[in-house]
């Protein structure tokens, strides 16, 4: 089987952050910039005035690009300039790890997602659509903006913000409204936009020595001051809103069974990341998995000499059943029990077609 080669450089996840006025979208964005897990973040907005600059400390300004503390960048654009600025922010010199697009004033969220998936920029990968909802004012927002149902239906992650001002019944009603749109998105409660950044992106991995010798950042100072004021360590209150499930197998995965699992993955499962060993299905490659909401992509890479051939996956979501997920994944192994439709497994070469549907080929217009 001929698989496409892996990308030459790591692709930068691009996250779309949406929400109507007053939802707390900007507060969440500033929270991510304060608690960025060592990442350098590029932010694309339509108006600098919508960002609380005092929380980010402007270091300088060139044209319509603002340099933020900690190596982050911010660009003010309209939708027609999106590709241009993505090209700028993904250049190696920018050294960014994550890009966040604030949707307000730029375009409909689903239009931004469509533009990202259709982009021919080889340096980006879709990182998900996050819809921020004011839990205390959801009914009023829905009356003013009935299109919110359409936004919720296409969201990969829904953040119920300001839950400290909403009762249990109100929160349950909102979850029912989200489900009524047909959405299977993970729904995360939050106050003041405080979500764990690891829901959206991984902690930065810097070359040896780079972080050890760095100067103390404003983020470090902010976290130290907060710890002194509250007596709690950063992140102690952030991890309760979602679950993370690890799965490791030294038995290769069956391509058909795994695709059946991925195509019907349960609601609330927001991200899947890791590597898959398909054994005889493709003995030369490990397949990196990147799944956000309904988006799924495989990236093949060659096994390195002496590397242990394992499947390692991390599944992240809200309201997910860890034991059930592990059981389903164990059933996807080549030595697992036959799936419900089966008897005899299809030959490996035929079964791999399901995976290859999601392998991005050079020059593809979508992911």
End-to-end CA separation in angstroms for the chain: 20
CB atoms within 10 A of CB 198: 17
CA atoms within 13 A on the CB side of 290: 21
pLDDT at 237: 45
pLDDT at 107: 60
Structure tokens given for 109:
């969220």
CB atoms within 10 A of CB 40: 18
pLDDT tens string, the chain, 367 residues long: the values are: 444 444 446 789 999 999 998 899 888 988 888 888 888 888 887 655 545 443 343 333 333 455 555 555 566 566 667 788 888 889 888 888 999 988 865 568 888 888 888 888 999 999 999 999 999 999 999 999 999 999 999 999 999 999 999 988 989 999 999 999 999 899 999 999 999 998 999 887 554 444 444 444 444 444 455 555 555 444 444 445 789 999 999 999 999 999 999 998 888 999 999 999 999 989 999 999 999 998 999 999 999 999 999 999 999 999 899 999 999 999 999 964 444 443 344 455 555 656 766 775 433 433 3
Structure tokens given for 15:
């996250």
pLDDT at 57: 33
Query: How far is Cα 78 from Cα 46, in angstroms, rounded to an integer?
Result: 6
């Amino acid at each position: 089987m001929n698989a496409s080669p892996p990308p030459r450089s790591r692709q930068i996840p691009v996250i779309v952050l949406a929400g109507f006025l007053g939802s707390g979208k900007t507060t969440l964005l500033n929270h991510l910039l304060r608690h960025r897990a060592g990442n350098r973040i590029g932010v694309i907005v339509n108006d600098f005035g919508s960002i609380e600059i005092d929380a980010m400390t402007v270091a300088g300004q060139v044209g319509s690009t603002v340099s933020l503390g900690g190596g982050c960048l911010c660009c003010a654009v309209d939708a027609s300039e999106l590709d241009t600025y993505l090209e700028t922010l993904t250049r190696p010199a920018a050294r960014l790890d994550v890009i966040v697009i604030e949707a307000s004033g730029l375009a409909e969220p689903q239009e931004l997602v469509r533009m990202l998936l259709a982009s021919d920029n080889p340096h980006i990968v879709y990182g998900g659509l996050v819809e921020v909802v004011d839990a205390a004012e959801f009914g009023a927002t829905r009356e003013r903006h009935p299109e919110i149902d359409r936004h919720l239906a296409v969201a990969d992650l829904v953040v119920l913000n300001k839950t400290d001002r909403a009762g249990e019944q109100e929160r349950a009603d909102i979850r029912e409204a989200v489900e009524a749109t047909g959405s299977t998105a993970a729904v995360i409660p939050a106050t003041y936009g405080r979500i764990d950044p690891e829901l959206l992106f991984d902690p930065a991995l810097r070359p040896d020595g780079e972080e050890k010798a760095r100067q103390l950042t404003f983020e470090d100072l902010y976290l130290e001051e907060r710890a002194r004021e509250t007596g709690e360590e950063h992140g102690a209150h952030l991890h309760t809103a979602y679950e993370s499930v690890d799965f490791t197998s030294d038995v290769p995965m069956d391509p058909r069974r795994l695709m059946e699992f991925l195509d019907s993955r349960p609601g609330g499962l927001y991200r899947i990341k890791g590597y898959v060993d398909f054994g005889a299905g493709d003995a030369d490659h490990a397949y990196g998995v990147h799944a956000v909401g309904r988006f799924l992509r495989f990236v093949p890479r060659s096994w390195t000499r002496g590397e242990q051939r394992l499947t390692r996956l991390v599944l992240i979501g809200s309201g997910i059943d860890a034991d059930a997920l592990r059981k389903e994944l164990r059933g996807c192994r080549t030595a697992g029990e036959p799936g419900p439709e089966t008897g005899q497994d299809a030959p490996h070469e035929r079964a791999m077609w399901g995976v290859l549907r999601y392998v991005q080929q050079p020059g593809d217009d979508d992911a």
